[in-house]
């Protein structure tokens, strides 16, 4: 890999941080959750995850399309979508097995409601088709279905970006508007809409893809100007104060929440104020990003970067750990200290898991490159066998 094509480890750092924050937000009743992103902005780690997913997908598959053509790039995208889809099914089986195990061990049916799996154990056959079509979404399993849908149509985004960014942004924006105005949505088997409505969340994914596409490089340099920075800061600061009032009002009786109750903040629909908050915060934080490569000699940063570069594996592992903490919340009666200890242990486990997984990948690559004993003894036949 050349220096010019070297992966920007800052992207993986931010994505890894977002995954760990998502895990913290998933753990019920822990003391760290009030200090995560949603307590200081109208958005949360989910916006970061979807935006960076679009950015990275466009960067990787956009290069593949420029190098190998549309068909090859589309196949790679759909192959990735297939891997994520199978991961969703595997996580579904694991989470339901965990729920069934604890129900059998304790006789407590509460776990069905905790994981939004009230009826699946009574009539599992009826849930096969909803599971395969991702309309059955138990607790913690509502992000990947939307991601699969977005990747399924992503080749069209790549093709459009090859022509013009407006060919992609305009229909994406109109679809998002349709959600805000007409309430366009998909429904789950529980009678609730998909928590991450693909018709709305596609917009931030597409915006990430537009900014990350190789053909659009340098088109958004205006975001680094001082005027844009100060305008963004003028949004970030009051939003942070408003959200802090919301967080503090839950703990201090004399503080009143200033957060407005409006559909413009709706998470399922990806409300307008959530988008404004996210992009304003992104513009401000970009100013303080270290240069490329500055994190390479910091062990703590590398631990987070590994999580970001193995996003699917770490997210899946985090879902399983969060499921355990949900069970613990029932068993401990929601004890905040128990949940907080489990949160710390879960973060440590994810960092260790990413390090182990990366080491295994490195070993596999080195084994692939290492000459075999047969090649040392019989060099010519070994080369022909490799061909």
Residue 85: domain span: 17-366
Q: What is the mean pLDDT of residues 123-138?
A: 92
Q: Rounded CA gap, 242 and 109, in Å? A: 39
What are the two backbone dihedrals, phi and then psi, of residue 271, each rounded to the nearest 5 degrees? -55, 155
pLDDT band at 376 (very low <50, low <70, confident <90, very high): low
Question: Would 387 be classed as within a structural domain?
Answer: no
DSSP label of 290: P
Q: What is the pLDDT of residue 374?
A: 55
Does 120 map to a domain? yes
pTM over 0.75: yes
pLDDT, tens only, 200-232 = 999 999 999 999 988 777 677 777 789 999 999
Within a domain: 349: yes
Kindly tell me if the per-residue pLDDT of 313 is higher than 50: yes
Q: What is the mean pLDDT of the segment spanning 290-310?
A: 91
- Total of domains in the chain: 1
The mean pLDDT value for 70-83 works out to: 97
**Is 70 exceeded by the pLDDT of residue 372?**
no
pLDDT tops 80 at residue 369: no
Mean pLDDT of the chain: 90
If you write DSSP's letter for every residue of 54-77 in order, what string do you get?
Answer: HHHHHHHHHHHHHHH-HHHHHHHH
Within a domain: 359: yes
CB 168 within 8 A of CB 206: yes
- Please check whether residue 385 lies inside any domain of the structure: no
The CA–CA distances, whole Å, from 318 to 18, 135, 140, 169 equal 12, 22, 10, 33
Whether 7 is in a domain gets the answer: no
Instruction: Give the contacts of 88 (CB within 8 A, at least 6 positions apart).
Output: 134, 141, 144, 145, 148
Q: What is the pLDDT of residues 81-125, one digit of tens each?
A: 999 999 999 999 999 999 889 888 888 888 888 888 878 888 889
Q: Is residue 271 over pLDDT 90?
A: yes
- The predicted structure's pLDDT at residue 379: 56
Domain-located, residue 307: yes
What was the pLDDT predicted at 199?
A: 98
Residue 59 lies in a domain: yes
């Amino acid at each position: 890999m050349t220096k010019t094509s070297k992966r920007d480890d800052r992207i993986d750092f931010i994505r890894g941080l977002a995954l760990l924050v998502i895990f913290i937000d998933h753990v019920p009743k822990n003391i760290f959750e009030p200090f995560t992103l949603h307590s200081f902005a109208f958005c949360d780690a989910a916006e970061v995850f979807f935006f960076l997913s679009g950015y990275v997908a466009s960067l990787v598959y956009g290069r593949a399309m420029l190098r190998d053509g549309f068909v090859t790039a589309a196949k790679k995208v759909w192959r990735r979508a297939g891997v994520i889809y199978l991961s969703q099914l595997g996580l579904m089986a694991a989470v339901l097995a965990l729920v069934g195990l604890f129900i059998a061990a304790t006789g407590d049916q509460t776990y069905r409601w905790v994981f939004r799996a009230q009826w699946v154990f009574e009539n599992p056959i009826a849930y096969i088709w909803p599971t395969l079509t991702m309309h059955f979404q138990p607790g913690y399993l509502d992000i990947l279905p939307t991601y699969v849908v977005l990747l399924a149509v992503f080749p069209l985004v790549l093709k459009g970006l090859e022509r013009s960014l407006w060919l992609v942004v305009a229909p994406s924006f109109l679809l998002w508007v349709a959600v805000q105005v007409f309430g366009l949505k998909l429904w789950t088997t529980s009678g609730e809409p998909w928590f991450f409505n693909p018709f709305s969340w596609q917009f931030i994914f597409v915006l990430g893809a537009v900014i990350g596409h190789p053909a659009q490089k340098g088109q958004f340099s205006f975001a680094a100007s001082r005027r844009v920075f100060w305008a963004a800061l003028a949004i970030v600061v009051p939003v942070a104060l408003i959200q802090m009032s919301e967080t503090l009002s839950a703990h201090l009786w004399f503080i009143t929440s200033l957060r407005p109750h409006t559909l413009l903040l709706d998470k399922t629909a990806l409300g307008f104020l959530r988008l404004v908050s996210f992009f304003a915060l992104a513009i401000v934080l970009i100013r303080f990003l270290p240069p490329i490569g500055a994190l390479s000699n910091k062990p703590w940063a590398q631990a987070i970067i590994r999580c970001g570069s193995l996003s699917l594996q770490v997210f899946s592992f985090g879902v399983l750990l969060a499921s355990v903490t949900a069970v613990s919340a029932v068993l401990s009666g929601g004890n905040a200290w128990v949940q907080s200890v489990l949160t710390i242990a879960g973060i440590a486990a994810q960092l260790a898991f990413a390090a182990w997984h990366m080491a295994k990948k490195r070993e596999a690559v080195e084994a692939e490159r290492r000459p075999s004993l047969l090649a040392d003894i019989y060099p010519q036949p070994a080369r022909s066998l490799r061909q």
